[in-house]
């Protein structure tokens, strides 16, 4: 019955963006968080993010953070893996541990009536994971299976190859899962070291939404995170981007080629970011009506889908995209993409395109706030990205302020068709690899 109630909570609680009142909370122990109190349904969503992530893997230990993240609920303190799972189920505690290149996240949702017990269980996973050897071997096997599967996926091959060519010896150059060799060599001590490196209390960002007061949240945060160490491992340096314009072909036996493409992009805190964001919505957002979809799919039938996006990361900023096409037509698709890049760089966009993009972006934004967990995630992400606390209130105004002149200026600055590099996985015809 509890699980049914909790599922209803997840489905029903949603707040309009304009109604979100964010409070900055500081715990007695000095841990900061952003809180939105929502008492209409008795449950709370908590999102915790630590800066660093898989980029903190030690040399020769790639995949340590990824493997470690899969083991936090495989037994903690006095509880075995099975006992931990049963306790979480009885409490209707929903949780997730996830690692990405630049961060590590903990997501949790729990009922108010079980908050004390739920937080205590979560505290054990965060502070006292067991890393039992049988659990390590079981999860290691799962990771090795993922790695083996990815090695046969053209999309993954394209992404992995692009990153390796673009980023040299930076952590961004390799997959966070690691390789079969690196994962096979990881020891329990490596996982303990990874846990200490990633879960540093001076690199934490927290969002909380639900039936909880500022005082209660402060006590909870000290309980969950107060015993964690401060950072002991430096964040990585800026990542290089080493690719020039051209194509790299990775031979793969498939009737359809996958092409991943990109060049240098724009930082999230750049004054021109919103103009670039609106520009990309028009160029290649992936939806019908974007220029790339119109030209590559609708007019020429070269693909089922093509898209571009701004990849603004902690240590590098790129503008990326992807397209799939038959081997005999992928060269044409690449040519059309470059042409559309060049047209927008030269001419910008039309007033009609700009108005349509603004209408979509401002109208779709409130739909992101469709539940406590989603809002908590947004609050943590805002802090992680160093956005101001009033960002939700001002974001649509920034979109509306973008002018035709802004986009023309930014298009000329950002879009460099001659710098686009395409990594093509397949058996493309009529395509001479320059790399």
The pLDDT of residue 378 is 98
pLDDT at 288: 84
Quick one: pLDDT at residue 286? 72
Task: Give me the residues of the chain with pLDDT under 70, please.
Answer: 1-19, 432-435
- Residue-level length of the chain: 435
Distance (Å, whole) CA 236 – CA 254: 37
What pLDDT shows up at residue 11? 42
Strand runs (DSSP E) across 76-214, as ranges?
Answer: 94-100, 103-111, 204-210
What residue has token string 């966009």?
Answer: 349
Indicate the pairing of strand 317-326 with strand 246-251.
Answer: unpaired
Residue among 189, 199, 207 nearest 228 (CA): 199
pLDDT tens sequence across 63-118: 999 999 999 999 999 999 999 999 999 999 999 999 999 999 999 999 999 999 99
> Collapsing DSSP states into helix, strand and coil, what is residue 157?
helix
pLDDT at 15: 53
Residue found by looking up tokens 């009609």 in the block: 352
Which residues in 220-305 belong to E strands, given as ranges? 246-251, 256-264
């Amino acid at each position: 019955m509890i699980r049914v109630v909790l599922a209803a909570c997840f489905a029903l609680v949603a707040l309009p963006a304009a109604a979100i009142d964010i409070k900055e909370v500081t715990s007695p122990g000095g841990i900061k968080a952003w809180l939105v109190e929502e008492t209409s349904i008795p449950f709370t969503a908590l999102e915790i993010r630590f800066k660093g992530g898989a980029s903190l893997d030690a040399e020769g230990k790639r995949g340590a953070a990824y493997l470690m993240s899969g083991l936090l609920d495989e037994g903690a303190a006095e509880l075995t893996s099975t006992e931990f799972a049963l306790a979480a189920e009885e409490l209707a505690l929903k949780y997730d541990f996830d690692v990405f290149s630049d961060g590590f996240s903990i997501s949790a949702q729990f009922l108010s009536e079980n908050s004390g017990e739920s937080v205590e269980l979560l505290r054990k996973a965060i502070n006292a994971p067991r890393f039992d050897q049988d659990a390590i071997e079981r999860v290691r096997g799962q990771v090795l299976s993922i790695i083996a599967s990815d090695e046969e996926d053209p999309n993954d091959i394209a992404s992995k190859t692009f990153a390796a060519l673009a980023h040299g010896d930076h952590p961004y150059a390799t997959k966070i899962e690691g390789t079969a060799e690196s994962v096979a060599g990881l020891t329990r001590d490596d996982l303990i070291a990874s846990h200490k490196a990633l879960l540093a209390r001076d690199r934490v960002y927290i969002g909380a939404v639900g039936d909880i007061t500022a005082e209660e949240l402060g006590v909870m945060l000290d309980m969950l995170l107060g015993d964690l160490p401060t950072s002991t491992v430096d964040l990585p340096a800026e990542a290089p981007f080493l690719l020039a314009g051209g194509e790299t072909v990775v031979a793969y036996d498939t009737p359809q080629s996958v092409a991943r493409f990109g060049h240098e992009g724009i930082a999230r805190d750049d004054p021109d970011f919103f103009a670039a964001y609106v520009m990309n919505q028009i160029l290649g957002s992936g939806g019908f009506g974007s220029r790339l979809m119109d030209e590559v799919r609708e007019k020429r039938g070269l693909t089922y889908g093509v898209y571009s996006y701004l990849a603004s990361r902690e240590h590098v900023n790129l503008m990326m995209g992807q397209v799939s096409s038959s081997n005999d037509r992928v060269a044409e698709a690449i040519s059309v993409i470059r042409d559309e890049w060049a047209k927008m760089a030269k001419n910008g966009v039309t007033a009609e395109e700009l108005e349509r993009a603004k209408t979509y972006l401002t109208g779709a934004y409130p739909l992101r706030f469709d539940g406590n967990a989603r809002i908590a995630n947004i609050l943590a992400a805002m802090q992680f990205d160093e956005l101001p606390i009033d960002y939700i209130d001002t974001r649509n105004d920034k979109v509306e302020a973008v002018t035709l002149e802004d986009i023309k200026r930014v298009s000329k600055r950002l879009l460099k068709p001659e710098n686009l590099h395409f990594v093509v996985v397949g058996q493309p015809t009529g395509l001479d690899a320059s790399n």
